[in-house]
Structure 1
């Protein structure tokens, strides 16, 4: 994004020097030695110091009896004869605490006060500061103040510079008080809440000398009555930052009144819609323009060709659909000035231009997340000064031109997540001596580099996932001694990790060698990466015990290897910062170590598919940040510890295939209300299903199957809010644990939870799509009684499995309301009575099993129910009708034929054949349409459509059956 206010201000030291010269002319005349402060003001400063907590000794000179207070750190005085007044107090960024003493009121001549970026204990801004009437410069930014801005500030009529920004808990009802500060030329209220200030534009317009205005993320109300505004003709705004509010395009009406003076405009993250106005092209002084994060459409106006001073343009995060070469052509007027161009997250199309005239000054070009196609040509012709090029997540599908190597100033090159192909040789990099960031992941590129090549660069970021680098370890990496991030996953690398690898870089922060064929044992040398925060060696062939690992790890993934031994290595991670731990699919054994409870920030634990055993220690309750706990397919035993109820952030629990005993804890429902997935399948739980489990409003996957649960199904299952709704819930089973990683790449730190579930009769693994699945499986227990009719309210459910229990009663009529049901298994129970006709309304149903019950009567006629095989209904002796072979009573009525009617029968036979073929064609047509529109329509439309379709297909079915019976008799 375009750098905002902080990056374009003059350096603080320069401002300090200038301010001293303005406020202190004696310094320019070399009379500093004559300065002597007034004793009253000296005592005021000492009282100020007494109230301050200075843990870091940032102004030790204060209080020195032999030194004049005008020479104290941060204090500056004027020069009047033999004594001087304190005019300037600058203690910004000193890590000071305590309180701001009102003794500052004794500094009657104070003109400059800067206490910004300290941590005073004041809850609100001291009101007495509004009585320092000679102040010209006031900076209280980033001090964690809260509450309202004191109304006394309206008394500071001599103020030129006001900065209260980055106090996010500060607020003001309106900006009317600013109107009294008519000399202001700089106002910064960044992040200050200005909720109700409907007249804020008028207040700002009444400041005739205002040049710089910063009001980002202030909750500014939109402009609604522009026609009533009055403007001071002498206003000369040059910088305006109104980003991250909810302003509409009506802001243009006010902004374009300053077309001749505006230099920097930041309107990012607002509600701007429609086309980009031509009027921006009339701002001939415009240097920086930020319109990112809006809903702007189309392309650039041709008038942008007039912006000969434009240096940076940020249009990221809009809906621009222009072709790339057309957009670049319109910027030709800025070719001598344009340095930064951000067009990320739009819908730009077309390929890279090979010749549009060049943009010789362009340094930074970012086109992430667009629809750019074709090859990557020689860009040195168009952008000869390019230093940073980001083309991530586009549709580039050609080759990379060797002209890339001509961009000798290139420092960062990112082409990840495209479909580029071809061979990359060392010739591509021969002139890129400044390159430090190389990202080509997820392309189809093959590296053909000689083993003795010595690169001209020292890379800090290397991301080459899915590029073919193997089968040998790329030896050129041995020369890279400054690497922070190394991702060469899925690179076709095989064999042992070479010994030189562990000397790669002590600065290594991220290491990803996953999805290769690396084998052998992991040596202790991994500790050489002492600063590593994330290590991913998953999906390889590594074996043996896990050695000690770096102590500051945040993320460790060693899953899908052949590691054995105990988990004791975890106790050596003394940094205790671990957030993500995945050791699944190995050969680990032993019990969970007690030291696991030391990782207070641990969010994700996956230990599935190992040989771990024993009870879960009560200390697990100390992991208050845990969201995923996956212990699937081990030998854990005993009861689920009650301390786990303290882990209230848990979203996924998977204890499948262990030997847990006892009852299903009631506190699962009362304390872990964030649960989305609860899998207790194939354990030894007993007792009844607790009613408290019905408090799990977010539950989408509930699997209690294959235990020893008894009693009735609670009727309160209708409280499962996520299963009652047909729409997709906001819940997710993908977790971004990387948010806590300082500076980590966007692609890191995302974990997609996985689970094996019984789906349509098969044991299937779901990962990225797990959050879309809505399932209840209570099969293989000893549940009894009737199925509560409230189950029918779970209209969003995809799969219901109640098989292999002792449930009785009739199948509930309400089952026809479960319109999203795709799989229904009620087999091996004691259900009796007829199959409800409402079952025919489940038009998504593709798996049905009602076998081995006591059902009776005729199977309802519908295309859906007759499409299942006879095995879906077998084991119900009293059940009849298609697709079962046994006919229902009265279905076979003999029909006699007389010779005298033979000619009529022949006509009837012909008619029957025609009707049969017509019905077959019509049936196929409606069947095809039914499948198509099922995908297209929403749930209510689908329901109405299928009611019509069902009636129609029933008539077709009867017609086919009668005609077929006649045809068989004739034949």
Structure 2
């Protein structure tokens, strides 16, 4: 019996062994995979082969000869969206022979990297990159002593990147065999030991820490570098604020250096020429300065050189020739936005393998050499914003068959080819902004059927837009022909330009009605033309971001379709002939930032729905015929920075909610309306206010003393005024919007736009304000314009007004101000416009000051002050010549005494003369003889004149 049981056991054991061997998979390891499959969600059917007994033949599974799983590769190499999601089964730890684990490109929803992964003692390759892990990096990974490849890089700017962090990197010391380390897009801001920890990885070959919030660190602080085998380093996107790491120049195996956006400063060392194995150098967007070392010409294996957006200097004649000697594999030269001088001649044509050259925004001069035609592989040529001049002929361009991007903007370059020239290339982008074309739209553009971007802004282009613009160039996404001399009308067929996103035709001489626009349009600028008629039925689709139709002759009403464009950021319909009422259909969920309907013929009240525009930053309704009181719903627009309701017929008092709700307000302009009552004290709560214009209303009462609390008018700082920028492809500006404002200063109304943020002004003129000028006004030390004219102000000019040393224009004319001009005003050295006329001022003008100089230039600035010692007064000016009515001293008794004494003196003198004539015969005789002599001479002269 025992023998039978033993035999049965051996038979069963033999059968089990044969089954395992036959299946090629260890049973319990197969069960681990089944557990893993159960915890994962397989949206794309990646694990559809995970069935049956032979798990070694399943997708992504590799076994060794004994059937143990050594490799599990479930990486999303095809970038399938959400290939695998869910959780990683803890039973995975039972794959004790696992050497290779790859789960990259999947989505684990921001969960933490499982700690049990640190138990895979045999693991050599671990790739969890871009798999949606968050939380903290478990230090247990430091137990993987055999690991030579670790990549846990995160998805840049994902929702959980900010919470993905680590306290320190000491655990890296356990990875003594590590050759590859990728941890990009984690938050290492607390890991002050990062450089020292990395320096312990003696066998490290590749390091990728892109955008990891590394704390600022001097890269040269290492006492001794252990990076002997390092050949690729990427620390870009971290603000390190360091000089160039000199230890890098000792690693002769280095092939890749990526230190863009790292806050590097100082110079690039000459020793960089020792890195003869270098293939890629990325040092863009830093603060590097000094000369680009010519030793860079020794880098014969270099393929990419990107030093763009620094403060580097150098002569491109010498640098280019040094590079051309041995850089036979160079494909990319990006040196844009530096201070490079010299020319393109003598070196540019030497780089036969060049794919892209970008020298944008430097100081290069001279012509474009003809040997540029030898760069047959070139697909991008950007030499914009330099001082290049001359002509590009067909021979320059004849062999550039690969060219797709050509940017010559802001040079004195022009393309001169035959009218029937057919280019060898198919451009995707052509940018000739501010190049002197002085002709019509180039005919050869008709052949560029694949082009997506054309920028001929400010090129002097004349004539009409050819019909083929809208029929042949159907792939256009961006078209900028603004600021030229184009004439004619726009065809109705342009509605079929289904790819067009950005259209800039502003500042031309186009006329006629605006046709329906393509529904694809996002940015539309047709401003400063002569378009007439009503707005079109379709001005674009729901994706419209910005529209400017200002300075035309459009009429009719404002269409309500603007209310349905939820992505719209800006509408500028100013300076037209639009009429009717404002639309009352605005919605809460719009993103509208700018609304400019100024200088039209709009009437009626401000609609209540405008209060739904809570994101609104700039509202211009000035120069219309709007009326009524300001609706309380407007108080919900608490994001307003600029509010201009001037030149309308609004009435009532200025609402107190302006001060209590609109705390971001920088500009408040309510001039030329019918507002009455006092100026609300609550306006002093607008701490960001820089411009206050309440002129030409019916305001009364005193000037508010707390207006001196407007801190930004006292500060040297300036608030941001709203501006919008819309960019084309790839990143160049097509249309931009800057808020503009009319400000009355120095006696004239001036339009401020780009420098609007520098202006600080208070204008309360043409009202019925009474009382004194508060001394608190003197606190507004940075105010440039103050106008209090044509009110009923009285009292003395406060001495503290001399503290406003930034004042450029001061007008206090046509008031009842009295007393002397304060001596402190002599320190107003910035003052270039002054008007103090028609007050009751008295005394002397402060000597040797700007006030006296301005009076010499224009004496009428003091007119109407008859007791003021000004250039208009011809008599001698005495120190005590004061207005007797407004003089503070009691001189009434002194004046009476003076009159009495003068009268008595006159009487006594006159009596004495008559006494002598009566009682002295000799005096009487002499007196009448003198009278007779004078009369005789007079009559003789008259007779002689009559005879002649």
Partner in structure 2 of residue 236 of structure 1 = 229
Asked whether the equivalents of residues 813 and 836 of structure 1 are also in contact (C-alpha less than 8 Å), the reply is yes
Asked whether the equivalents of residues 99 and 122 of structure 2 are also in contact (C-alpha less than 8 Å), the reply is yes
Q: SS state of the match for residue 451, structure 2?
A: coil
**Residue from 774, 778, 783 that aligns with 2:769:** 783
Deviation digits for residues 756-810 of structure 1 (CA, Å, limit 9, x no counterpart) = 1101111111111211211111112222222221211211111101112222221
Asked whether the equivalents of residues 89 and 112 of structure 1 are also in contact (C-alpha less than 8 Å), the reply is no
Asked whether the equivalents of residues 369 and 394 of structure 1 are also in contact (C-alpha less than 8 Å), the reply is yes
1:214 paired with 2:208, answer yes
Asked whether the equivalents of residues 250 and 274 of structure 2 are also in contact (C-alpha less than 8 Å), the reply is no
1:715 paired with 2:713, answer no
Question: In structure 2, do the counterparts of structure 1 residues 749 and 149 end up closer, same or farther at CA, with 3 Å as the change threshold?
Answer: farther
Q: CA deviation at 1:519?
A: 1.2
**Residue from 526, 533, 549 that aligns with 1:544:** 533
Q: Distance in 2 between matches of 1:298 and 1:773?
A: 37
Partner in structure 1 of residue 555 of structure 2 = 564
1:367 paired with 2:359, answer yes
Q: SS state of the match for residue 447, structure 1?
A: coil
Asked whether the equivalents of residues 685 and 707 of structure 1 are also in contact (C-alpha less than 8 Å), the reply is yes
- Structure 1 stretches lacking a partner, 5+ long: 1-30, 893-971
Aligned ranges 1:90-169 → 2 under 5 Å: 90=75, 94-95=81-82, 100-103=87-90, 105=92, 108-109=95-96, 111-116=99-104, 120-122=108-110, 124-142=112-130, 147-159=135-147, 160-165=149-154, 166=156, 167-169=161-163
Question: In structure 2, do the counterparts of structure 1 residues 66 and 577 end up closer, same or farther at CA, with 3 Å as the change threshold?
Answer: farther
Q: SS state of the match for residue 462, structure 2?
A: coil
Asked whether the equivalents of residues 440 and 464 of structure 2 are also in contact (C-alpha less than 8 Å), the reply is no
Partner in structure 1 of residue 289 of structure 2 = 297
Q: CA deviation at 1:341?
A: 0.6
Deviation digits for residues 740-765 of structure 1 (CA, Å, limit 9, x no counterpart) = x6856431352111111101111111
Q: Distance in 2 between matches of 1:64 and 1:890?
A: 109
Asked whether the equivalents of residues 695 and 766 of structure 2 are also in contact (C-alpha less than 8 Å), the reply is yes
Q: CA deviation at 1:268?
A: 1.8
User: How many residues are aligned here?
Assistant: 844
1:555 paired with 2:546, answer yes
1:274 paired with 2:266, answer yes
Partner in structure 1 of residue 620 of structure 2 = 630
Partner in structure 1 of residue 436 of structure 2 = 444
Q: Distance in 1 between matches of 2:593 and 2:129?
A: 35
Question: In structure 2, do the counterparts of structure 1 residues 540 and 855 end up closer, same or farther at CA, with 3 Å as the change threshold?
Answer: same
Partner in structure 1 of residue 172 of structure 2 = 178
Aligned ranges 1:635-674 → 2 under 5 Å: 635-674=625-664
Q: Distance in 1 between matches of 2:621 and 2:336?
A: 41
1:759 paired with 2:745, answer yes
Aligned ranges 1:270-419 → 2 under 5 Å: 270-354=262-346, 358-381=350-373, 383-406=375-398, 407-419=400-412
Asked whether the equivalents of residues 219 and 244 of structure 2 are also in contact (C-alpha less than 8 Å), the reply is no
Question: In structure 2, do the counterparts of structure 1 residues 40 and 32 end up closer, same or farther at CA, with 3 Å as the change threshold?
Answer: closer
Q: Distance in 2 between matches of 1:713 and 1:257?
A: 72
Deviation digits for residues 595-653 of structure 1 (CA, Å, limit 9, x no counterpart) = 33266111111111112222223322332322211111122223333333333332211
Q: SS state of the match for residue 817, structure 2?
A: strand
Question: In structure 2, do the counterparts of structure 1 residues 776 and 200 end up closer, same or farther at CA, with 3 Å as the change threshold?
Answer: same
Partner in structure 2 of residue 89 of structure 1 = 74
Deviation digits for residues 481-539 of structure 1 (CA, Å, limit 9, x no counterpart) = 21111111223111122455444x32111111211111111233x2xx22121111111
Q: CA deviation at 1:695?
A: 2.6
Q: SS state of the match for residue 245, structure 2?
A: helix
Question: In structure 2, do the counterparts of structure 1 residues 97 and 356 end up closer, same or farther at CA, with 3 Å as the change threshold?
Answer: closer
Q: Distance in 2 between matches of 1:621 and 1:144?
A: 41
Question: In structure 2, do the counterparts of structure 1 residues 329 and 85 end up closer, same or farther at CA, with 3 Å as the change threshold?
Answer: closer
Q: CA deviation at 1:819?
A: 0.9
Q: Distance in 1 between matches of 2:732 and 2:748?
A: 35
1:253 paired with 2:246, answer yes
Q: CA deviation at 1:836?
A: 0.5
Q: SS state of the match for residue 517, structure 1?
A: coil
Q: CA deviation at 1:870?
A: 2.7
Q: CA deviation at 1:118?
A: 5.5
Larger radius of gyration: 2
Q: SS state of the match for residue 444, structure 1?
A: coil
Q: Distance in 1 between matches of 2:432 and 2:22?
A: 60
Q: Distance in 2 between matches of 1:215 and 1:780?
A: 64
Moved more, 90-99 or 777-786: 90-99
Q: CA deviation at 1:721?
A: 2.7
Q: CA deviation at 1:241?
A: 0.9
Question: In structure 2, do the counterparts of structure 1 residues 679 and 112 end up closer, same or farther at CA, with 3 Å as the change threshold?
Answer: farther
Q: Aligned-residue CA RMSD in angstroms?
A: 3.2
Q: CA deviation at 1:122?
A: 4.0
Question: In structure 2, do the counterparts of structure 1 residues 565 and 236 end up closer, same or farther at CA, with 3 Å as the change threshold?
Answer: same
Q: CA deviation at 1:344?
A: 0.9
Deviation digits for residues 857-914 of structure 1 (CA, Å, limit 9, x no counterpart) = 222223422232232112223222435445434799xxxxxxxxxxxxxxxxxxxxxx
Question: In structure 2, do the counterparts of structure 1 residues 439 and 122 end up closer, same or farther at CA, with 3 Å as the change threshold?
Answer: closer
Aligned ranges 1:381-530 → 2 under 5 Å: 381=373, 383-406=375-398, 407-420=400-413, 425-426=418-419, 430-447=422-439, 454-455=446-447, 458-477=450-469, 478-503=471-496, 505-524=497-516, 526=517, 529-530=518-519
Q: CA deviation at 1:856?
A: 1.9
Partner in structure 2 of residue 23 of structure 1 = none
1:262 paired with 2:254, answer yes
Partner in structure 2 of residue 861 of structure 1 = 847
Asked whether the equivalents of residues 90 and 112 of structure 1 are also in contact (C-alpha less than 8 Å), the reply is no
Asked whether the equivalents of residues 423 and 448 of structure 1 are also in contact (C-alpha less than 8 Å), the reply is no
Deviation digits for residues 909-955 of structure 1 (CA, Å, limit 9, x no counterpart) = xxxxxxxxxxxxxxxxxxxxxxxxxxxxxxxxxxxxxxxxxxxxxxx
1:78 paired with 2:63, answer yes
Asked whether the equivalents of residues 390 and 414 of structure 2 are also in contact (C-alpha less than 8 Å), the reply is yes
Partner in structure 2 of residue 188 of structure 1 = 182
Question: In structure 2, do the counterparts of structure 1 residues 659 and 107 end up closer, same or farther at CA, with 3 Å as the change threshold?
Answer: farther
